Structure 1
Amino acid sequence: MALKEHEYKLDRKTIIVSETDAKGNIVYANEDFCKISKFTKDELIGQPHSMVRHPGMPKAFFEDLWHTLKSGQTWSGVVKNRTKDGGYYWVFTTVYPSKTPEGETKYFSVRVKPTTDEIEKAEKLYATLA
């Protein structure tokens, strides 16, 4: 029998912020990101953002995210992420494409607590994509 994963719930004051390079490697993570994910800043910086991807998230979801970002558009959606200790947390995510002063692509991601309704809708959608 599999162990039940522990769900960590964000409070309304939590705002998770990260920045990645064009390849999706983390170059900045704020304290809220570290606190909820259970990773230290040193463990996050330089790693692909996919390190917090929950294995239950459908591949098509991330294909849509990257297609949208690479076309220069902002992407938003509800995401289930994993924690270092094997738990998970839900976030409403908005990712913004941007450029460095040198013209290199980078991405800013801001995550906040989703509503219960948003989580339920996401779970139903992801079940159809799995």
Structure 2
Amino acid sequence: MEYNSSNFLLETIVPSEELIVSRTDLKGNITYVNDTFAEISGYEANELIGNPHSIVRHPDMPKAIFSDLWKELETKGKWSGYVKNLRKDQGYYWVYAEISEVHKDGKLVEYKSIRTPMSFEKKVEYQVKYDQLKLTSGELIRHVSYTEYKK
């Protein structure tokens, strides 16, 4: 896999006091985003709404994670896990995501997702874990080294 943009390696850090919130229809198309989601992803809210949530799917994410996500939503009504997302400018950001069903009058109508920041250590752990998962399943991976910047 080849990446032609140097922005692809630029991480946007999710501020510790921020929550990223979105809602999707039952097919995963975005119906609502908060300002933080738009800002962190680099999109305007109107660019996100109506598009599939996969608009922010980073190619480093194993396909199996999203298969598991949909299976868990169907069987348990919720899913949580660590996700590397792709920004509009081809940079990225890591989040801990919690997705759950939204019911109205007893009927499932949509999904809501709340995402929070994750530690540097978790990012490294999950990059390695996801690379291994992609290798095991025959997906292409790229190698990224992380170093923590300290002021």
Partner of 1:110: 114
Q: CA deviation at 1:100?
A: 3.0
1:26 aligns with 2:30: yes
Write out aligned runs for 1:1-130 (5 A). Answer: 2=4, 3=6, 5-101=9-105, 103-130=107-134
Question: SS at 2:40's partner residue?
Answer: helix
Shift in Å, 1:32:
0.2
RMSD over equivalenced CA pairs, Å: 1.6
Specify the SS of the correspondent of 2:46.
Answer: helix
Query: Normalising by structure 1, what TM-score?
Result: 0.93
Q: How far 1:72 moved relative to its partner?
A: 3.0
Q: For the Cα contact (< 8 Å) 1:15–1:111, is it kept in 2?
A: yes
Q: Give unpaired runs (5+ residues) of structure 2.
A: 135-151
Q: Distance in 1 between matches of 2:100 and 2:78?
A: 5
User: Which residue identity is paired with 1:15?
Assistant: L
* TM-score normalised by L of structure 2: 0.80
Structure 1 residue runs of 5 or longer lacking an equivalent are none
Q: Secondary structure at the match of 2:9?
A: coil
8 Å Cα contact 1:100-1:106 kept in structure 2: no
Letter matched to residue 82 of structure 1: L
Runs of 4+ in 1 over 4 A off after TM superposition: none
